[in-house]
Chains A and B, each alone.
Chain A
């Protein structure tokens, strides 16, 4: 294309992000017969999905016949404290089993039951053993299977290509603009439809299980072109991250450890989770250690251990124990599987945890307890989508996976993300392809607009403000960790707002050295834009939601407020450059589904 100043490619559908959601979307779009590209900012196969450990939730009924989509649906809604989009939760529970079996068709090899079917394990908040898994490296199996399938289907993949702006033609999206990490050169993708599958935001916090990629790019790209964000205050702190040595603090310890028999104790040796059973989950949780222990062997006649309450509950409990002075030597609590399970069992079921602790912390988990504490892990909020089609509020723009919001409500159950990626990744790919097929003409981005973006992206080289991007990033992480963490309060949230505002001013002065070729300093300077936007959105939502629910706990509003905040999503939208917030009612659940919750009371 002679008149394009920068390298330019044209597609029907581009998928931004090559984790589980993006790969599944690209596979579906390409199978629908449209010209599809997959773009990612790391190498293919290195997305966050590769790190997932415990498993994929799907009511396959291989271990418990009693399981079915309705039970999974109910668990998901209750785990999300009923803030979920009910239709997404329904589709997810109904379609997850087919999506998992499809992975098996494409070569995935899950751990097996005795009769040769897919084995399922227990996880927090799931009524029955429901997670299909491969030891504790399920994400690796999933991403490799999808990656190889996509490669064999001949889908075009653009690796280490970082998308910085979405392009619009009137009210529709028509492409994306970014740079190659390798050369630092710019590239334009013209496209009729776009699927965002960029994952999460955890790098705004100091202690996190997330990698450098999790800078909130997708949420920011979407908001910048006018798409709605919802539930941005809902951040999941996973209860069990490593706490020692300091350099590995935040790295995840899978919930599979508790699913397979691990229990939490404080420094006094007490199984403290029994003191934190809320009324909401009392009926289904064991009250004594004897009952909890018996549950491991006989799940039909005993209630489950409180160690496996949903993550928000366990994270708050650990936080409270440490605050009360009953923490472990390095400020966590103890997670012990060695006293219940044999070394052989642990090494087989949890090989990567075994390896990780041995190599990084000199701890042998087959003999000793692990020290664990909460770590920033996942964002339930994100881009608002239509349940059936994954369409955002901007024509031509779709979103799936962690970047999208709604399915998980106020708290995500373990294992429900990997299934989310497959169910809604497929739907996003399908509907994006249909949209592209029905659209006449070619996408035509505005060249002047592109030129303006190019200049914006080069600004850090021309600044003389002298701010170091790494220093600004660390200041943001401290701010979010200390002021917008697990337990929040109005005065701290307001302080965070002031700090974020001053960090934005510092960002304008960030200066980078060197040239554009593979320059992490420059790349981080650009990522800071989306990190700050996300941090701002989360803080705004957290300040506005004056109640405690799921991943959002307010010290100054300790209980849920079912009459007001239990009925609304907080919606964020960019207006004249600034984020503005409004309240909108949750979609109303139909009566036949409502009954599922009444019966069980």
Chain B
């Protein structure tokens, strides 16, 4: 049940490049990443691409497939009509290194700046107690595989390179929310959220939520509650404290 496709793949580096067409046969069940590997093995041995798990768990293989940010290992070829031309380009928001590989160091730099977890004292018996109900919401954020597709799609940095220094992006907000809502955390990140992470730039377009392969409700569950905290903090420190203590 093999079908023929034309894969139009970006080839090039910062000095320039172009889309190149490769005709390939996709066997039943194949994903885009399999087809890229077939091209590598038979037509273009130096085609640059990142991947690791081939199962949607590591977040390495992000690209734009027909213009949509997706994981190549979780995009089945049977999504497309046989004979169709499928365009594969590198994610746009970050500087190109080569072919499908981009320089994602922006995300690692932002991660360094986030104020770390600060746990309160242990229970009297020396243990930590946390209940499933309290950790559920934070576990949603911990599902993040750092594919940076949300960062790629967010217009604040996709369309405005110059916002990058002031805006940490949706991935960072997910991490900040996970720290802020950790049941035992005591750190105060309100000033950081407002001034350093640029939470105010986000105008809740929800594009990030739409592309998240882990189905994390980035806007509703992370960003909006963070925005509320920052606002509460400015108008009513007591409300902020209550939120913090009850993990809301």
A residues with a Cβ closer than 8 A to B are 42-48, 50-51, 101, 104-107, 109, 111-112, 115-117, 134-135, 137, 140-141, 144, 148, 151-152, 159, 182, 211-213, 244-248, 251-252, 352, 355-356, 359-361, 468-471, 474, 512-515, 517-522
Q: Which residues of A contact B129 (CB under 8 A)?
A: 115-117
Q: Which residues of B contact A251 (CB under 8 A)?
A: 54-55
* Distance A43 CA – B101 CA, assembled complex (angstroms): 12
With beta carbons under 8 angstroms apart, the residue of B34, B58, B112, B145 that contacts A247 is: B34
In the complex, the 6 A-B pairs of residues with the closest C-beta atoms, listed nearest first: A245-B29, A521-B45, A116-B129, A514-B46, A470-B41, A518-B48
* Distance A469 CA – B40 CA, assembled complex (angstroms): 11
With beta carbons under 8 angstroms apart, the residue of B30, B57, B74, B142 that contacts A141 is: B142
Q: Which residues of A contact B139 (CB under 8 A)?
A: 109, 134-135
* Distance A138 CA – B142 CA, assembled complex (angstroms): 10
**Are B116 and A152 in touch, CB under 8 angstroms?**
yes
**Are A46 and B46 in touch, CB under 8 angstroms?**
no
Other 13 A-B pairs with CB < 8 A, given A51-B57, A470-B45 = A106-B117, A111-B132, A140-B57, A148-B116, A159-B108, A246-B28, A247-B31, A251-B54, A360-B76, A361-B29, A513-B45, A515-B46, A520-B49
Q: Which residues of B contact A109 (CB under 8 A)?
A: 130, 135, 138-139, 142, 182
* A112 with B131, Cβ < 8 A, contacts A46-B59, A356-B56, A521-B40 known: yes
Q: Is B13 an interface residue (CB 8 A)?
A: yes
Q: Is B68 an interface residue (CB 8 A)?
A: no
CB distance from B132 to the nearest CB of A (A): 4
Q: Which residues of B contact A522 (CB under 8 A)?
A: 46
13 contacts between A and B (CB under 8 A): A50-B58, A50-B145, A109-B135, A109-B142, A112-B135, A117-B129, A211-B52, A355-B56, A360-B29, A361-B29, A468-B45, A470-B40, A515-B46
Q: Which residues of A contact B52 (CB under 8 A)?
A: 42, 46-48, 50-51, 211-213
Q: In this complex, what residue of A is CB-closest to B29? A: A245
* A359 with B76, Cβ < 8 A, contacts A105-B119, A247-B29, A513-B45 known: yes
Q: In this complex, what residue of B is CB-closest to A145? A: B142
CB distance from B30 to the nearest CB of A (A): 5
Chain B positions 37-83 with a Cβ under 8 Å from a chain A Cβ: 40-42, 45-60, 74, 76
Q: Which residues of A contact B27 (CB under 8 A)?
A: 245-247
Q: In this complex, what residue of B is CB-closest to A356? A: B55
Q: In this complex, what residue of A is CB-closest to B128? A: A104
With beta carbons under 8 angstroms apart, the residue of A117, A248, A515 that contacts B29 is: A248
CB distance from B2 to the nearest CB of A (A): 11
Q: In this complex, what residue of A is CB-closest to B52? A: A211
Q: Which residues of A contact B143 (CB under 8 A)?
A: 137, 140
**Are B45 and A520 in touch, CB under 8 angstroms?**
yes
* Distance A519 CA – B40 CA, assembled complex (angstroms): 10
Q: Which residues of B contact A45 (CB under 8 A)?
A: 58-59, 146
Q: Which residues of B contact A44 (CB under 8 A)?
A: 108
CB distance from A298 to the nearest CB of B (A): 23
Q: In this complex, what residue of B is CB-closest to A141? A: B142
* Distance A74 CA – B129 CA, assembled complex (angstroms): 30
Tell me the total A-B contact number using a CB cutoff of 8 A: 155
**Are A512 and B45 in touch, CB under 8 angstroms?**
yes
Q: Is B111 an interface residue (CB 8 A)?
A: yes
**Are A246 and B98 in touch, CB under 8 angstroms?**
no
CB distance from A148 to the nearest CB of B (A): 7
B residues with a Cβ closer than 8 A to A are 13, 27-31, 34, 40-42, 45-60, 74, 76, 97-99, 101, 103-104, 108, 111-112, 116-117, 119, 127-132, 135, 138-139, 142-146, 179, 182
Which residue, B48, B58, B142, has most C-beta atoms of chain A within 10 A? B58
With beta carbons under 8 angstroms apart, the residue of B54, B99, B101, B144 that contacts A211 is: B54
**Are B30 and A519 in touch, CB under 8 angstroms?**
no
CB distance from B16 to the nearest CB of A (A): 14
* A519 with B58, Cβ < 8 A, contacts A152-B116, A247-B29 known: no
Q: Which residues of A contact B131 (CB under 8 A)?
A: 112, 116
* Distance A470 CA – B46 CA, assembled complex (angstroms): 11
* Distance A544 CA – B178 CA, assembled complex (angstroms): 53
* Distance A46 CA – B13 CA, assembled complex (angstroms): 24
With beta carbons under 8 angstroms apart, the residue of A46, A213, A248, A520 that contacts B40 is: A520
Q: Which residues of B contact A360 (CB under 8 A)?
A: 29, 31, 55, 74, 76
* Distance A21 CA – B51 CA, assembled complex (angstroms): 21
Q: In this complex, what residue of B is CB-closest to A154? A: B112
**Are B46 and A512 in touch, CB under 8 angstroms?**
yes
Q: Which residues of A contact B142 (CB under 8 A)?
A: 109, 134, 140-141, 144
With beta carbons under 8 angstroms apart, the residue of A115, A144, A211, A245 that contacts B30 is: A245
* Distance A471 CA – B41 CA, assembled complex (angstroms): 7
Q: In this complex, what residue of A is CB-closest to B215? A: A355
* Distance A171 CA – B200 CA, assembled complex (angstroms): 59
Q: In this complex, what residue of B is CB-closest to A522? A: B46
With beta carbons under 8 angstroms apart, the residue of B29, B42, B97, B104 that contacts A518 is: B97
**Are B74 and A359 in touch, CB under 8 angstroms?**
yes
**Are B53 and A211 in touch, CB under 8 angstroms?**
yes
* Distance A245 CA – B34 CA, assembled complex (angstroms): 12
Q: Which residues of A contact B74 (CB under 8 A)?
A: 359-360
**Are A520 and B128 in touch, CB under 8 angstroms?**
no
With beta carbons under 8 angstroms apart, the residue of A151, A244, A518 that contacts B101 is: A518
**Are B55 and A51 in touch, CB under 8 angstroms?**
yes
CB distance from A105 to the nearest CB of B (A): 7
Q: Which residues of B contact A244 (CB under 8 A)?
A: 29
Q: In this complex, what residue of A is CB-closest to B138? A: A109
Q: In this complex, what residue of A is CB-closest to B148? A: A43
CB distance from B35 to the nearest CB of A (A): 9
CB distance from A56 to the nearest CB of B (A): 15
CB distance from B182 to the nearest CB of A (A): 7
* Distance A319 CA – B40 CA, assembled complex (angstroms): 33
With beta carbons under 8 angstroms apart, the residue of A106, A107, A474, A517 that contacts B98 is: A517
**Are B130 and A116 in touch, CB under 8 angstroms?**
yes
Q: Which residues of A contact B30 (CB under 8 A)?
A: 245, 247
* Distance A111 CA – B138 CA, assembled complex (angstroms): 11
* Distance A360 CA – B76 CA, assembled complex (angstroms): 7
Q: Which residues of A contact B119 (CB under 8 A)?
A: 105
CB distance from A419 to the nearest CB of B (A): 19
* Distance A469 CA – B46 CA, assembled complex (angstroms): 11
